[in-house]
């Protein structure tokens, strides 16, 4: 469905007046449209071929601290804050957005802001609108709350506790950082890198009654979810109207369907197609090969069957609980000697063989005789039973960066070795241990994949948490489990392969860091 209405018409007129005529295929080959699954996006208006220029956005339409030279923020404020955190490119652009958006119709970019201003999904909006209009005699100023976790309620943020991502602490830290930055506007004491008060020194430009902390969060969210870089060094962030309306290609494989660059000589931002489209098809771009956690944090969406998913899972206690202190010391000496990554969490990425944790598990599963032989120690069949004196065995960790000692007390240099093979018995035990870990991880979730799928499709669940945020979290969890199940199946296949044919160094080496079978 095409986007219609006076706001979009005014936006198109503004673009055309400033050198980007949507009626001219040489300028732009798509229009705004609404799609069932992705919402607002762009549809092709003419046949598009690979390497065609999708849009050529002139410099004067671009909103950045480099191009918006007529804005008072760029002209008056930024020179005065040079050397402070306010001069940071991201903060400077946020300040520019904060000011220009709240100028209303007086802003050059008002037609662009107008099409972004959708009523927020908040049950207090009617009350807020009535209060602003009747008690304060002021027009309602809608704030676009993007669907990023920094805007989520406490109840919705709690939903992220089961996910093995950093979204929850990152979102809380970002809120705190923006809050500190905002109070630095009020009183520089709150932020050691702010030396002027924006509200005190520029009262005709900024007011805490209008330029609220929520508005500042909106400005940063706009940059994170809609921004581009004007340079290859990622030092010049910018908002590029119309180009920022392209949705991400979520097709399997994440094909890079478009690329962009800023032509400094021509002073034009160009979006180039890497594929073909027929008129009416949705025109897409590519936000990068990212996991769902990154998409949710930066853009406010997730999707099923994202094979770029990656996350960290805690190594279960049962992996090492059978080892005594001497056994653990020898294991960690060998881990350091072989330069094996030693961590409390397993890095998991869909379709990639987890070689690092397999190396770790191979070492954990060495017999005492194999362990002593690898460390050039007198061979033993088993280590003497020892007590921990009440200490938690998991607390007996040793740094993998420590330099191991040989039997004669001399130090040994770490050997860089990505993958090593011991024997068939050790290899089988390694795969079986990983499968056992997969079962442990799957059992740690409070819901099954079938439960998640039913919730996502709307067949179950009710109450305030049964909203879009809850569905996105359940999608995030469903995709984590899908990756674990996929890797578990792959290790089952590898066990069958080893059982039937044996295994050799070349086979294991081939798997190291490579894609596992679909």
* Predicted structure pTM score: 0.80
What are the extents of the domains in the chain?
6-124+135-299, 310-379+417-507
Other residues' Cβ atoms within 10 Å of the Cβ of residue 462: 6
Contact indicator for 146, 172 with CB cutoff of 8 Å: no
The whole-angstrom separation of Cα 433 and Cα 362 is: 10
User: Which CATH code for domain 6-124+135-299?
Assistant: 3.90.1410.10
Beta-strand pair 284-285/247-248:
parallel
Beta-strand pair 237-238/228-229:
antiparallel
DSSP lists the bridge partners of residue 39 as 35
Dihedral sign computed on CA atoms, order 289, 292, 293, 299: positive
pLDDT tens figures, 378-408: 888 777 765 444 434 333 333 333 333 333 4
Highest mean pLDDT of the ranges 321-335, 455-469, 501-515:
321-335
pLDDT tens figures, 262-310: 999 999 999 999 999 999 999 999 898 899 999 999 999 999 988 888 9
Contact indicator for 460, 451 with CB cutoff of 8 Å: yes
Q: DSSP string spanning 354-376?
A: -HHHHHHHHHHT--HHHHHHHTT
Mean pLDDT computed over 240-261? 85
| 360-375: burial string, b at 16+ Cβ within 10 Å, e else | bbbbbbbebebbbebb
Query: Which range has the worst mean pLDDT, 158-162, 187-191, 369-373?
Result: 187-191
DSSP lists the bridge partners of residue 48 as 277
Query: Which residue bears the tokens 């449209």?
Result: 33
pLDDT band for position 323 (50/70/90)?
confident
Contact indicator for 161, 168 with CB cutoff of 8 Å: yes
HEC per residue, 48-113: ECCCCEEEEEEHHHCECCCCCCCCHHHHHHHHHCCCCHHHCHHHHHHHHHHHHHCCHHHCCCHHHH
pLDDT tens figures, 77-103: 888 888 777 788 999 999 999 999 999
**Rounded to the nearest 5°, which phi and psi values hold at 450?**
-65, -40
The whole-angstrom separation of Cα 351 and Cα 368 is: 33
107, with CB counted inside 10 A (0-12, 13-18, 19+), is middle
Nearest Cα to Cα of residue 357 among 433, 439, 270, 456: 433
CATH of 310-379+417-507, one of 3.90.1420, 3.90.550, 2.60.40, 3.40.50: 3.90.1420
User: Interior CA angle at 76 toward 74 and 80, to 5°?
Assistant: 100
pLDDT tens figures, 5-34: 888 999 999 999 999 999 999 999 999 998
The rounded mean pLDDT for the chain is: 81
Intrachain domains 6-124+135-299 and 310-379+417-507 with the same fold:
no
The whole-angstrom separation of Cα 378 and Cα 391 is: 28
% the chain with pLDDT above 90: 45
Number of continuous H segments (helices) and E segments (strands) in the chain? 18, 11
Within 8 A by CB and 6+ apart from 57, the residues are: 20, 240, 241, 242, 243, 268, 269, 270, 271
The whole-angstrom separation of Cα 442 and Cα 89 is: 43
Phi-psi sector, 83: left (phi>0), alpha (psi -120 to 50), beta: left
Within 8 A by CB and 6+ apart from 470, the residues are: 156, 159, 455, 461
Contact indicator for 62, 269 with CB cutoff of 8 Å: yes
Other residues' Cβ atoms within 10 Å of the Cβ of residue 377: 14
Task: Answer yes or no: is pLDDT of 455 > 70.
Answer: yes
pLDDT tens figures, 347-384: 888 888 888 888 899 999 998 888 888 888 888 877 77
Tokens of 300: 């406010």
DSSP lists the bridge partners of residue 440 as none
The whole-angstrom separation of Cα 386 and Cα 323 is: 9
Task: Answer yes or no: is pLDDT of 190 > 90.
Answer: no
Mean pLDDT computed over 93-122? 84
The whole-angstrom separation of Cα 385 and Cα 325 is: 9
DSSP lists the bridge partners of residue 271 as 55, 260
Query: Which residue bears the tokens 């191009």?
Result: 67
pLDDT for position 427: 86
* DSSP SS3 for 214: helix
Beta-strand pair 268-273/53-58:
antiparallel
* DSSP SS3 for 407: coil
């Amino acid at each position: 469905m095409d986007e219609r209405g006076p706001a979009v018409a005014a936006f198109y007129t503004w673009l055309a007046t400033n050198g980007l005529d949507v009626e001219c295929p040489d300028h732009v080959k798509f229009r705004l449209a609404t799609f069932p699954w992705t919402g607002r996006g762009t549809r092709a208006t003419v046949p598009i071929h690979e390497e065609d220029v999708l849009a050529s956005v002139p410099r004067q339409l671009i909103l950045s601290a480099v191009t918006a030279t007529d804005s008072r923020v760029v002209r008056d404020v930024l020179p005065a804050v040079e050397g402070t955190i306010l001069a940071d490119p991201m903060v400077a652009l946020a300040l520019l957005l904060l000011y220009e958006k709240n100028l209303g119709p007086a802003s050059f970019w008002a037609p662009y802001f107008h099409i972004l201003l959708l009523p927020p999904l908040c049950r207090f909006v009617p009350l807020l609108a009535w209060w602003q209009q009747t008690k304060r005699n002021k027009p309602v100023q809608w704030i676009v709350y993007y669907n990023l976790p920094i805007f989520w309620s406490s109840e919705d943020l709690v939903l992220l506790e089961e996910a093995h991502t950093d979204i929850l602490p990152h979102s809380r830290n970002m809120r705190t950082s923006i809050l500190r930055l905002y109070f630095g506007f009020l009183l520089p004491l709150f932020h050691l890198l702010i030396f002027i008060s924006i509200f005190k020194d520029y009262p005709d430009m900024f007011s805490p009654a209008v330029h609220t902390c929520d508005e500042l969060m909106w400005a940063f969210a706009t940059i994170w979810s809609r921004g581009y870089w004007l340079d290859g060094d990622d030092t010049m962030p910018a908002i590029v109207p119309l180009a920022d309306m392209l949705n991400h290609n979520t097709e399997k494989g994440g094909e890079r369907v478009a690329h962009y660059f800023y032509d400094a000589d021509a002073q034009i931002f160009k979006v180039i197609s890497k594929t073909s489209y027929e008129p009416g098809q949705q025109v897409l771009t590519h936000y990068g090969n990212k996991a769902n956690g990154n998409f949710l944090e930066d853009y406010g969406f997730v999707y099923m069957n994202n094979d770029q998913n990656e996350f960290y899972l805690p190594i279960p206690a049962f992996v090492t609980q059978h080892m005594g202190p001497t056994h653990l010391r020898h294991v960690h000496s060998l881990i350091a000697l072989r330069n094996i990554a030693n961590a409390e969490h397993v890095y998991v990425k869909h379709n990639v063989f987890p070689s690092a944790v397999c190396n770790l598990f191979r070492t954990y599963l060495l017999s005492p005789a194999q362990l002593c032989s690898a460390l050039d120690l007198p061979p033993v069949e088993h280590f003497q039973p020892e007590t921990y004196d009440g200490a938690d065995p998991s607390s007996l960790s040793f740094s993998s960066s420590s330099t191991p000692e040989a039997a004669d007390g001399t130090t040994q240099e770490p050997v860089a070795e990505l993958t090593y093979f011991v024997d068939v018995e050790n290899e089988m035990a390694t795969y079986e241990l990983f499968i056992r870990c997969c079962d442990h991880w799957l059992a740690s979730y409070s819901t099954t994949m079938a439960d998640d799928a039913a919730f996502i499709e709307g067949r179950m669940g009710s109450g305030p948490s049964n909203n879009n945020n809850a569905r996105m979290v359940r999608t995030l969890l469903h995709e984590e489990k899908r990756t674990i199940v996929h890797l578990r199946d792959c290790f089952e296949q590898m066990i069958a392969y080893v059982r039937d044919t044996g295994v050799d160094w070349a086979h294991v080496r081939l798997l190291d860091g490579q894609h596992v079978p679909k």
